[in-house]
Chains A and B, each alone.
Chain A
Amino acid sequence: MKTETLTSAPATSSEPKDEQFERFLYQMLLIRRFEERTGEMYTKGKVRGFLHLYIGEEACAVGSISALRPQDKLITHYRDHGHAIARGIAPQRIMAELFGRVDGTSKGRGGSMHIFDKQANFYGGHAIVGGHMPVAVGLGLAAKMQGQDSVTMCVFGDGGVAEGEFHESLNLSSLWKTPNIWFLENNGYGMGLPLAKSVANEIYRLAEAYRIPSVRVDGMDVVGVHEVTEKALEHCRTGEGPYFIEAMTYRYRGHSMADAELYRQKSEVEEFRKRDPIERLKARMLQEDMITDRDYDELVARVEEEVAQAIQFADASAQPGLDTLYDGIYKENANG
């Protein structure tokens, strides 16, 4: 069993299937444990502000982001820890950001909803619903105008679909044939509002209305998500314009830590847990002899350790100095 670089290297098509699946499994476990422990840290007061956990949706981030190459760009919404981890950003730096410390991805200036990492081509972490979508069009446009082989994937939720920026962005990307993957994580609720009360049609069909090729995929199936994203990437790379993926998923936890979940039944959550993306991949790998129970336990132990180290790292990281309050509002110009 390979153990190194499981969290960082994007998939390559030449990678053996068992290694690729194991990496998917590891990343999904890592995200889940990271989120569970982050929830604990919130309860302890180590993490403050709004906290939106990604538990249940892991297959979306891992399946899609693993299809991207280093030069591709990623921009996402505020439920962003899973995407950051799947993109290979060190969990300890993400945790340090949640703790508001100097070793965080934004040196403690961003917080949970605003994870950024330039090296990873990770353009945030955006907390105004739908507000990052036009930015994705521009990133795609810039790559196209400069002749770069780079695709920009924009992840957003079903809550963003009723926003004008969703429609403006799809329209512009289709008109201008920008290399954009529109990746919708449809978890069924915009905060507490069920989808049926927010969008008048099936969402992937809205994309079709903008003449964007569009597919719906089971967002609890990491392998399926990966395959469809690879296809989307190929489509965008070859100058065919944008591609739309609607991944049907579910969040087990509330919208944020403040959510009393009055709008759904516990039984509904239990139904979705039966389709759990981690359990599902694990079962398949066991069945196809890619992994043993012992291997799985080892993965779980490694994840436990990695998250524990992330928390230790974050806790040991310094508070930003008050003298740095104004740092980074503007970038200094070379010539004044």
Chain B
Amino acid sequence: MAEMRMRDALHDALREEMLRDERVFLMGEDIGGYGGSYAVTRGLQTEFGPERVRDTPIAESGILGAGIGAALGGLRPMVEIMTINFSFVGIDQIINNASKFSYMSGGQFNVPIVIRMASGGGSQLGATHSHSLEGMYAHFPGLKVVCPSNAADAKGLLKRAFRDENPVIFIEHAALYGTKGEVPDDPDFLIEFGKASVLQEGTDVTVIGYSGSVHQAIRAAKLLEEQEELSAEVIDLRTLRPLDIETVVQSVKKTNRAVIVEDDWRFGGFGAELSAQIMERAFDWLDAPVARVSGKDVPMPYNRNLEFAALPSEEDVVEAVLAML
């Protein structure tokens, strides 16, 4: 175990996977000489050379498609899309090619590609640079969607992503890159997909988050305990597809209440899906409707106060819990 920032855990995962499997290579905008927009790939081009850590032009569709082709051609590419916002420019490749090659070919082909992207708001980057699209990507069958909330999970899940035969959308909340945590040193440290993590056990309410929103959930649980003497169970989904609905349902059957926290827009967001599944599977155990604490239904404003108001906070979560009691 070593304490490290999430960015370094991701770096180590990439490095270890490149050492383990010579088919693994990295492509992306400014991932080489510049070291990556969020410094995840820093130093890797020096170690592995410009072929295996390939700087690309700003051409998201081109590089995503090239990654898909390289995966079909026998390699294990990782394509870094600098931020998830830019994935819109290349999304046809992800949706129409990566996610469907296997099914449309009757299972003849598969696309083992890892697509990493930085996500989330909170940095006053305005409406075009603050998206949370985890739920949108989870919408598509054929993709796997991974969204870690801490350094250890980031490493274990990213290493696991390179062992998958299918396209993995790996989403990193930009505000979490500098957060620290204990990370195992074991080069075979892997975290399975579809296994949510119960971060804190509780009895009064289940608070569910993923990626950045896990931290609002944890802070809210602390406030609930300190101020209201309520015991919250906190669940980190870790992967949205596959989704570990069983862990969520088991928890809700115990606490009888569920609050979902997400940065994404409420309307048609992942919380709506999760809420529906909880009601389908645990309706008789619910003492209140499932609550959602989501991003406000607005393009992200630049102004600091307005942006703060548009994002879910721990106070919003506490309020939602108190409203359902």
Contacts and interface: CB of A to CB of B under 8 A. Distances in A.
B4 to A, nearest CB: 26
Given A118-B109, A128-B92, A138 B65 contact: yes
A141 B69 contact: yes
A172 B70 CA distance: 13
A336 B102 contact: no
Contacts of A32: none
Interface stretch (A103-111, A185-193, A202-210, A258-266): A103-111
B107 A331 contact: yes
Nearest to B74: A142
B226 interface: no
Nearest to A138: B69
Contacts of B93: 131, 134-135
Interface stretch (B54-62, B275-283, B316-324): B54-62
B196 interface: no
Contacts of B56: 172
Interface residues of B, number: 43
Contacts of B51: 145
A225 interface: no
Interface in A289-336: 327-333, 335-336
A149 interface: no
B52 to A, nearest CB: 8
A331 B110 contact: yes
Interface residues of A, number: 49
Contacts of A336: 192
A328 B129 CA distance: 35
Contacts of A106: 104-106, 108
Interface in A43-79: 73
A134 B65 contact: yes
A132 B108 contact: no
A73 B65 CA distance: 16
A139 B65 CA distance: 10
Contacts of A105: 105-106
A135 B108 contact: no
B66 A137 contact: yes
B289 interface: no
B61 A146 contact: no
Contacts of B106: 104-110, 116, 328
Interface stretch (B160-168, B212-220, B244-252): B160-168
A123 interface: yes
Interface in A171-215: 171-172, 175
B74 A133 contact: no
A124 interface: yes
Interface of A: 73, 104-110, 114, 116-118, 123-126, 128, 131-143, 145-146, 152, 164-165, 168-169, 171-172, 175, 327-333, 335-336
Q: Which 10 A-B pairs have the closest CB atoms?
A: A138-B69, A134-B65, A142-B73, A168-B62, A328-B107, A116-B105, A106-B106, A138-B66, A107-B106, A331-B110
Given A109-B106, A142-B73, A328-B102, 7 more contacts: A106-B106, A107-B107, A116-B106, A128-B96, A131-B96, A329-B102, A330-B165
28 contacts: A108-B106, A110-B105, A114-B104, A118-B105, A118-B109, A124-B104, A124-B105, A128-B92, A133-B65, A135-B69, A135-B97, A136-B69, A138-B66, A138-B68, A138-B71, A141-B73, A142-B73, A165-B92, A168-B62, A169-B62, A172-B59, A172-B63, A328-B105, A329-B102, A330-B102, A330-B166, A331-B107, A335-B163
